[in-house]
Amino acid sequence: MISLYSYLFISAILFSTGMFLVLVKKNFIFMLIGVELMFNAANINFVAFGYRHGHLDGSIYVLFIILTAACETAVGLAIILNLYKYFKSIDPSDVHELKNYES
Amino acid sequence: MEYIVFVIFAALIIISCAGLVFTRNLVHGALFFLCIMICTAVIFVYNQAEWTAASQLVVYAGGVVILIIFGAMLTANYTQIPKLSFTKSTVFASIVCVGVFSLLLFIFSKLSATLSGNVTQISQADIPYIGTSLMTRYVLPFEISGFLLLISLIGAMFVLSNNTRHI
């Protein structure tokens, strides 16, 4: 029997790695991967606690989270590709204007 | 035996996280991400959530990784990402992340000390319960998430279409 703490340890590792990627990487796609890792940390917690409490509602919440994460990835990649078309870069520090004021 | 397999997959997750932090190639990063997703599905199977593990494999390992690789290959210089440099912001971010990690471990150790021992076995099977409750108790979130999927697909197509230049 694997203890609950092992699952929570893995989830903590995933969450802090995702946070590190979002904070540090100078690349929009790596930041998106970091957000997905944080979603997965929450998913592991949901499933582990649901199993410990003896009902399956945690799995249903995980399903909704997976669906929302898929939507987020699709829209996020579309925005990133559009930004790349405009700024020719996917470095977050190059993207510093919302609208081109010159034209 | 069960424990050994669990430790192997946990070690794979940790190694892939380290690789994801230190890699300079976006495609390698996507492959590390794929490895993490598969190991997470294995952890779901350990918690008797087989259907969730299957949907994790289909959606993440099948869909999201492909999307990320597409996005990586449509942007230039995806193999030459600048190395992690020890600037002030990197050091600060790693301090914050280590702090969050230790805080989470502290909270989780308290939680699992109170929760240990009282495992109640899941009585019903996985898939019939999920199907029934998606159609009865969780029908409103189910419909809303379907609508969200539709909206996000249309929105992604609209953002990527050429019309946005004239707005």
Q: Are A24 and B55 within 8 A, CB to CB? A: no
- Nearest-Cα residue of chain A relative to residue B102: A12
**Distance of residue B155 Cα from the nearest chain A Cα, in angstroms:** 7
Enter the ipTM. Answer: 0.90
pLDDT at site B123:
63
B42 lies within 8 A of chain A by CB: no
B114 lies within 8 A of chain A by CB: no
In sequence order, which residues have a C-beta less than 8 Å from that of residue A5 and are 6 or more positions away? B108, B109, B112
pLDDT at site B118:
62
pLDDT at site B7:
93
pLDDT at site A23:
92
Rounded to the nearest 10°, the torsion over CA A49, A52, A57, A63 is 50
pLDDT at site B81:
72
C-beta separation of A75 from B159 below 8 A: yes
B147 lies within 8 A of chain A by CB: no
Residue B75 DSSP symbol: S
A96 lies within 8 A of chain B by CB: no
Question: With bands split at pLDDT 50, 70 and 90, how would you rate the model's confidence at B129?
Answer: confident
pLDDT at B165 over 60: no
Give the H or E element holding residue A63.
helix A57-87
Question: With bands split at pLDDT 50, 70 and 90, how would you rate the model's confidence at B116?
Answer: low
Q: Are B101 and A12 within 8 A, CB to CB? A: yes
Q: How confident is the prediction for chain B on average, in pLDDT?
A: 86
pLDDT at site B84:
73
**Distance of residue A54 Cα from the nearest chain B Cα, in angstroms:** 5
Q: How far apart are CA B49 and CA B56, in angstroms?
A: 11
